[in-house]
Amino acid sequence: MKRVFVIFCALGIALAICAQKPQQDIKKNLRLSGGSFLAYPGPKQHKRTSAPGNKKPFYISHFGRHGSRYPTKTEDFTFVIETLQKSEEAHALTPLGSEVLQRVIMMEQEAHNRPGELTSLGAQQQQEIAERMVQRFPAVFDGNVTVEAKSTTSIRAILSMSNALLKLQALNPKLKIKVDASQSDMGYLRHNDKLLTTQSLDEKNVALYNAFVDAHSTWERVIGQLYSDTAYLNHNVEGKKLNSYLFRLASVVQDMDLRKKVTLYDLYTDAELYENWRKDNVFWYLGFGFAPTNGGKMPFGQRFLLRNIIEKADSCLKLDRPGVTLRYGHDTALLPLVCLLGINDFDLSTDDLDQVERRGWADYKIIPMA
């Protein structure tokens, strides 16, 4: 039987690549402005490309990001809440400012003592992804084939893996499942190349990012609408920082149970959402892409992950039933891996930051949650 090797390098790549520019994408779907906080919506219904000739999929090799999670830093909430509470005590907030304070308090209550942990939506995403794997490639999962799954030692990655495996086991109780989450695998699942990281923090690279952020600063109107006392705002509030935290919280709401009750996107115009997204997108490019100013080699930090994918596939190809290899990790590995593989031209190298998005380099196409 003719065979074709199927690699699923992150199911997040299944997001349809929009023909429109990011500004238009975000206007159509505000959630895309969340970038790496985008809650993976699942693939749209469309006709899938058939395998060439009589070839059939027989093995799946997967690396995916964990599902939707809560913010990893409690400061995301505490800074906003403490700033707005002090402002309210000084009678400096507008009614909208007081309302925003209550919204953020509600968010903090849901996320309390759960920094970076998987949300219920994150668990659902991974179960649905696993189910689609079986539905689309039933022959790969037929009978008592082996599914080997590994994750980083992060609880959100472990729970993402667990939810996927529970679904697979429910769909086929005969599967032989091998599962592990060990420090011994972190060398390729979450490798941090200190030399490359140092190069990414080069003064020229950092200065380029800071200049871009300053050129696209859009906090004055957003924060101004929360304050009735302009003098208090100007002398007591770090407006730029407050906007940065509020935008991050606006982005992460979509990953929480509160997503149907609370939003912060109404604080921003379409143009402001786009400009805030641009700064985050450039952060990912300069920090993890093939940017000349970061040394131009950052994606090679994932060489051990790529080597594992190749070597594991080589060993599985020798088996009568290769089965499935699942790996669960993080955006900081997935994005540079995609760049290293050159998928959809994400191996872009330019020091003209305006060219990044014009050339289709957009974080929400690569690293949504799950």
Using CA atoms, how far apart are residues 291 and 350, in angstroms rounded to an integer?
Answer: 6
Using CA atoms, how far apart are residues 318 and 330, in angstroms rounded to an integer?
Answer: 29
pLDDT digits (tens, 9 = 90+) for 66-103: 999 999 999 999 999 999 999 999 999 999 999 999 99
Would you place residue 19 in the very low, low, confident or very high pLDDT band (cuts 50, 70, 90)? very low
Please give the pLDDT value at position 99.
98
Q: What strands, in cross-sheet order, belong to the sheet with 176-180?
A: 3-8, 56-65, 323-329, 146-151, 176-180
pLDDT digits (tens, 9 = 90+) for 194-209: 999 998 999 999 999 9
pLDDT of 160 > 50? The answer is: yes
Please give the pLDDT value at position 161.
98
Q: What is the pTM of this model?
A: 0.91
Using CA atoms, how far apart are residues 40 and 291, in angstroms rounded to an integer?
Answer: 26
Using CA atoms, how far apart are residues 353 and 212, in angstroms rounded to an integer?
Answer: 8
CA distances from 370 to 255, 277, 291, 334, 336 (A): 11, 19, 25, 11, 16
